């Protein structure tokens, strides 16, 4: 068997002249050591083609909706052309020259597709808050609990064939049932459907760069900055950051953390190596109210970092996998400490509004309290205000985004 690995990435070609984009599709094979595959001169990765890029559409009119369907159909058609030579060979096998001079009957089978989440969304024909591997509902993306049914695109297509009424928009009930049944699927738009000997949801692979470095780490850095600000530890963090000494394999950051504007994979990987130490230094000597939250924040960050380190092992045993599971669970159990920094603009506005309203009511009431009791009542008010504020944030904020969910698939893959 020759596992085929496909890759695609829609890229902006230049920032200088106009809005030029390219959408290349590459392939390589799985029976190559990754050191050879990643060497630029080895020709291990071949360009298969450039996909057509449709013009960008606004989300409004009916004509645009039609155009969107045509675009999806075109894309699927192009992929059918690209995959056509593969299907015959995957079914019957094909004689292939091997490196040892022998000719063998080989079965090239599509085994993985490497792409970022938005690319997967387009190619799998799913909504942007859906998982390409399983049917997790959007409101459960941030939770650890539960195992969700794997996606079965063949079942979705069968369902469509058996329910022709889905095409007319007037059948609301049928449509609602369909959406229920398929969880975030755009109908018939999966370009991988129909590949021979391939289970479509298995094409998605865990991806350290997009899921962790550019995904969770980026989010986590925002939470940590919020946390440091709340506890007035930003300066301590920056000082520790700037004092990092050089050591082999570690690239000393030249700028203060807050001055770094571009965070790419390399910087994020570097950050993962020193973040916990810097944070532990910044959170030294907590006062009595800070002991608990500081410990929780450190545990949360440490769990995610440990998970990341473990996920990079070249081979695993049941023991290392159980460690990974443990770290992921611990991360989910402690991440609530950062929930208030997941606050959306709308919630922030609501919270400000609520605070203003409370203060106005208080000012009126305070006039009726004798001056000697005013100080006590002010303290009580502040406490109540904080409680209400936190309650609002906890009810309105959540961790439901796709990258939070995707780490739960690392284990299945190993």
Residue numbers at the binding site for Zn ion (CB under 5 A): 131, 133-134, 136
CB of 137 to Zn ion, least distance (A): 11
CB of 140 to Zn ion, least distance (A): 10
CB of 134 to Zn ion, least distance (A): 3
Q: Answer yes or no: are the C-beta atoms of 316 and 414 closer than 8 Å.
A: yes
φ, ψ of residue 113 to 5 degrees: the values are -135, 125
Q: Give the H or E element holding residue 47.
A: strand 46-50
360 class by beta-carbon count within 10 Å (0-12 exposed, 13-18 middle, 19+ buried):
exposed
CB of 141 to Zn ion, least distance (A): 9
Q: Answer yes or no: are the C-beta atoms of 340 and 223 closer than 8 Å.
A: no
- Its sign, for the CA torsion 95, 101, 102, 104, is negative
- Residue 52 or 146 having the CB closest to Zn ion: 146
CB of 402 to Zn ion, least distance (A): 8
268-270-273 Cα angle (round to 5): 115
What is the rounded end-to-end Cα distance, in angstroms, of the chain?
19
130 class by beta-carbon count within 10 Å (0-12 exposed, 13-18 middle, 19+ buried):
buried
φ, ψ of residue 302 to 5 degrees: the values are -65, -40
Using Cβ positions, the residue closest to Zn ion within the complex turns out to be 131
- Residue 126 or 297 having the CB closest to Zn ion: 126
CB of 151 to Zn ion, least distance (A): 8
Whole-number Å distance between alpha carbons of 223 and 144: 19
- Residue 23 or 401 having the CB closest to Zn ion: 401
- Residue 76 or 133 having the CB closest to Zn ion: 133
- Residue 152 or 396 having the CB closest to Zn ion: 152
- Residue 90 or 134 having the CB closest to Zn ion: 134
């Amino acid at each position: 068997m020759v596992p085929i690995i496909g890759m695609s990435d829609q890229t902006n070609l230049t920032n200088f002249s106009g809005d030029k984009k390219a959408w290349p599709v590459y392939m390589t094979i799985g029976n190559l050591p990754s050191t050879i595959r990643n060497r630029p001169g080895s020709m291990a990765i071949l360009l298969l083609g450039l996909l057509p890029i449709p013009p960008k559409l606004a989300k409004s009119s009916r004509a645009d909706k039609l155009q969107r369907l045509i675009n999806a159909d075109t894309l699927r058609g192009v992929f059918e052309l690209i995959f056509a030579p593969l299907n015959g060979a995957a079914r019957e096998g094909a004689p292939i020259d091997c490196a040892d001079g022998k000719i063998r009957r080989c079965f090239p089978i599509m085994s993985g597709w490497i792409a970022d989440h938005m690319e997967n969304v387009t190619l799998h024909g799913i909504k942007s808050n859906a998982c390409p591997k399983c049917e997790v509902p959007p409101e459960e993306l941030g939770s650890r609990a539960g195992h969700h049914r794997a996606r079965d695109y063949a079942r979705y297509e069968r369902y469509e064939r058996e329910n022709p009424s889905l095409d007319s928009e007037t059948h609301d009930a049928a449509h609602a049932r369909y959406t229920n049944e398929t969880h975030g699927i755009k109908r018939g738009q999966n370009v991988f459907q129909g590949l021979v000997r391939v289970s479509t949801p298995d094409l998605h692979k865990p991806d350290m760069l997009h899921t962790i470095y550019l995904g969770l780490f980026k989010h986590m850095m925002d939470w940590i900055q919020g946390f440091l600000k709340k506890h007035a530890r930003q300066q301590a963090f920056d000082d520790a950051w700037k004092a990092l000494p050089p050591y082999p394999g570690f690239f000393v950051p030249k700028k203060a953390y807050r001055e770094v504007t571009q965070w790419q994979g390399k910087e994020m990987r570097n950050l993962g190596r020193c973040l916990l130490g810097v944070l532990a230094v910044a959170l030294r000597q907590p006062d009595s109210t800070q002991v608990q939250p500081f410990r929780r924040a450190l545990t949360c960050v440490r769990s995610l970092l440990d998970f990341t380190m473990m996920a990079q092992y070249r081979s695993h045993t049941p023991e290392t996998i159980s460690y990974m599971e443990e770290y992921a669970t611990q991360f989910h159990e402690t991440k609530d400490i950062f929930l208030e920094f997941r606050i959306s603009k709308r919630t922030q506005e609501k919270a400000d509004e609520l605070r203003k309203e409370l203060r106005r009511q208080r000012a009126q009431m305070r006039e009726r309290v004798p001056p000697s009791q005013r100080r006590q009542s002010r303290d009580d008010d502040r406490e109540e205000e904080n409680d209400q504020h936190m309650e609002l944030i906890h009810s309105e904020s959540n961790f439901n985004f796709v990258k939070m969910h995707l780490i739960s698939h690392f284990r299945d893959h190993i």
